[in-house]
Amino acid sequence: MKKIKKIARNILREIRKHNYIIIFHHVRPDGDCLGSQHGLKLWLQQKFPNKKIYAVGSNEELFNFLNFKFNSIPSDEILKNSLGIVVDANNIDRIVCNELLIEKKLNKLIRIDHHPVEDDFDYFYRWVDSSYCSSAEQITHFIYSIDNKPLNKEIATFLYLGIYTDSGRFFYDYTSSRTHELTSWLFSSNFDFFDLHKKLSKRTISELKLNKYILENYKTYENVIYCFLPFEQIQKIGINQSESNRVDFLANIEGYDIWILFIENNDKTIRARLRSSEKDISILAQEYGGGGHKKASGALLNNVEQIEQLIKKASKLTLK
Ligand SMILES: [Mn+2]
């Protein structure tokens, strides 16, 4: 508790100094970066009604049933005087609206992230801690350490979205007693978690078709199970790129502790979604221009030939 108080003090000090705060999310958004961004935005707006809090970017149609309110890009004058907060992201090319950071230069920039990855930007302050299941858990902890009375329902919903989705519904091993304690506190706001669960569980016919394709076309190599999803298939099934990201269809098959989905892009490059139940696949992902968590990483391949190469390397990974 002592540590979080210190971190919160450091972040709060910078927030207090700035009248404008701009919160950024990462490319190909997910529940965690969006939930963190909008939960933090609404809380800051409530706590500091005289400040102007901006959420920049887009939810790209994701979780449209939630009321994401994005702001347009503020003027150069405002940008110059503002504090930027990057949530759930590290490298500059992973941040949406990064041109604001590269060209315009905000006054100061803070990174709040649970990815154990070094970044390549001149952050004024970093709170990077991979013991958190999600950035939303960090934001929740930050808020709780400042003010632990029940949140308003909308803020609780956003933060819970991030925790629930990034922890794999409290499945992954970085789900901790702290995760549950903070979630318990979120529940005290009486937000409608059941309604959210139902909406998050909805599946479409396109997803069913995608599942069918994967079930019919998966391959195995030693302990690796994988599937290649050609771009023309994605189009045929009628799903967008982010919906096609369903590596979980290959998860937890006995005898296969690594599962990978390869998704071909329009330009023939291939996004690889790597998962593992035991081994650290993040280093392999880094070799292929990606990274992420030990057991959940992403990479970008230049061509189909690299698939076989990556699979062979994956099969040789050992427990460390
Ligand atoms: Mn995350």
Torsion of CA 298, 140, 111, 175, to 10 degrees: -30
Residue 23 CB contacts under 8 Å (≥ 6 apart), including other chains = 37, 40, 41, 53, 54, 55, 56, 84, 85, 86, 87
Q: pLDDT tens-digit profile of 57-92?
A: 999 989 999 999 999 999 999 999 999 999 999 889
Distance 166 CA to ligand 1 centre (A): 6
The pLDDT score that the predictor gives to residue 1 is 60
Distance 208 CA to ligand 1 centre (A): 26
Distance 247 CA to ligand 1 centre (A): 16
On the question of pLDDT at 313 being above 80, the answer is yes
Tokens read off for 11: 């972040």
Cα-flanking dihedrals φ and ψ of residue 28, to 5°?
Answer: 45, 70
On the question of pLDDT at 206 being above 70, the answer is yes
Q: Which CATH number fits domain 207-315: 3.40.50.1820, 3.40.1390.10, 3.30.43.10, 3.10.310.30?
A: 3.10.310.30
Residue 273 CB contacts under 8 Å (≥ 6 apart), including other chains = 245, 247, 260, 261, 262, 263, 298
Distance 135 CA to ligand 1 centre (A): 5
What's the longest Cα–Cα distance across the chain?
60
Distance 178 CA to ligand 1 centre (A): 16
Distance 236 CA to ligand 1 centre (A): 30
The CATH H-level (homologous superfamily) assignment of domain 2-199 is: inorganic pyrophosphatase (n-terminal core) (3.90.1640.10)
Q: pLDDT tens-digit profile of 223-241?
A: 999 999 999 999 999 988 7
Looking at residue 261, the DSSP 8-state letter turns out to be E
Distance 216 CA to ligand 1 centre (A): 31
Q: Across the chain, what does the average pLDDT equal? A: 94
Distance 292 CA to ligand 1 centre (A): 9
Distance 30 CA to ligand 1 centre (A): 8
Is the Cβ–Cβ distance between 33 and 25 less than 8 Å?
yes
Instruction: Give dist(CA 292, CA 210) in Å, integer.
Output: 25
The pLDDT score that the predictor gives to residue 104 is 73
Distance 127 CA to ligand 1 centre (A): 14
Mean pLDDT across 176-193:
98
> According to the 3-state scheme, what is the secondary structure of 98-121?
CHHHHHHCCCEEEEEECCCCCCCC
Q: What residue ranges of the chain are covered by domains with CATH 3.90.1640.10?
A: 2-199
Distance 112 CA to ligand 1 centre (A): 10
Distance 28 CA to ligand 1 centre (A): 12
Q: What residue ranges of the chain are covered by domains with CATH 3.10.310.30?
A: 207-315
- Taking alpha carbons only, the member of 245, 295, 239, 292 closest to residue 270 is 245
- Quote the crossing angle between the two packed helices 153-166 and 31-47, to the nearest 10°: 150
